[in-house]
Amino acid sequence: MARRFQSTRLHLAVTVLMCVFVSIDGVNLNDLLERASQLSDKLHSLSTSLTNDLDSHFPPIGGKLMRPSMCHTSSLQIPNDKDQALKVPESELLSLARSLLLAWSDPLAVLLSEAPTLPHPERNTINTKTRELQDHSTSLGAGLERLVQKLGPSSEALSSLPFYNNEVGQDRISRLVNFHFLLSCFRRDSHKIDSFLKVLRCRAAKMRPEMC
């Protein structure tokens, strides 16, 4: 009886897994791009909200001391605007989005480790939103890997953008400034990722360029 019960459970588990994979494989490209675009939009909105939280009790002096060209992702050659992005092949746009998101794996871990003790009156809110930021980033990363399966091996190429800073500083001011700077860089890059994915979604839906 016990063996029969175990066999039944195993058969049920395999059946469930098969249904899950069939469901995953059955999702079309447009639906995947729609989901990825929704996630990237949340990611950018959340990073903007976090920056506003920081600015509410602290002047954004990080923006004065550090320039966007100092972001660790600034060396990546990317389209400057939507018109340029519309001319880039789909596989290359997806590779750029994946490269940018992957480049933030370590920096996001630094932000997450610093947020709980950040010397800021909105520390608890910032900590919660930083965790959400990492969760959304992880979910988006999984979604982009699914898109690679749909668009083929030509979209698998990734650019290496190493990040060497493992802490944001020791004293109160440097911690706030560097946290703010990292977050500002991420907000900029999350906007690019969101833009690339929206262009991909637009192309997949065969919309006219002016409608994208």
Contacts of 96 (CB under 8 A, 6+ apart): 76, 78, 88, 159, 192, 196
Within a domain: residue 26? no
CB 190, CB 41: distance < 8 Å? no
pLDDT at 204: 85
Domain that includes residue 76, residue range: 31-211
The mean pLDDT of 37-41, rounded to a whole number, is: 95
pLDDT in tens, 88-110: 888 899 999 999 999 999 999 99
**CA triplet 109, 36, 63: central angle to 5 degrees?**
45
Establish if 139 belongs to a structural domain: yes
pTM: 0.80
Residue 4's pLDDT band, with cuts at 50, 70 and 90, is very low
For 157-170, what is the mean pLDDT? 72
- CB proximity list for 93: less than 8 A, separation 6 or greater: 85, 196, 199, 200
The pLDDT assigned to 9 comes to 44
Number of domain units in the chain:
1
Do the domain assignments include residue 94? yes
Q: What is the pLDDT of residue 140?
A: 96
DSSP one-letter code for 170: S
Give me the mean pLDDT over the 63-75 stretch. 73
Per-residue tokens: 118 = 């950040």
Inside any domain, residue 178: yes
Q: Residue 157 belongs to a domain with what CATH number?
A: 1.20.1250.10
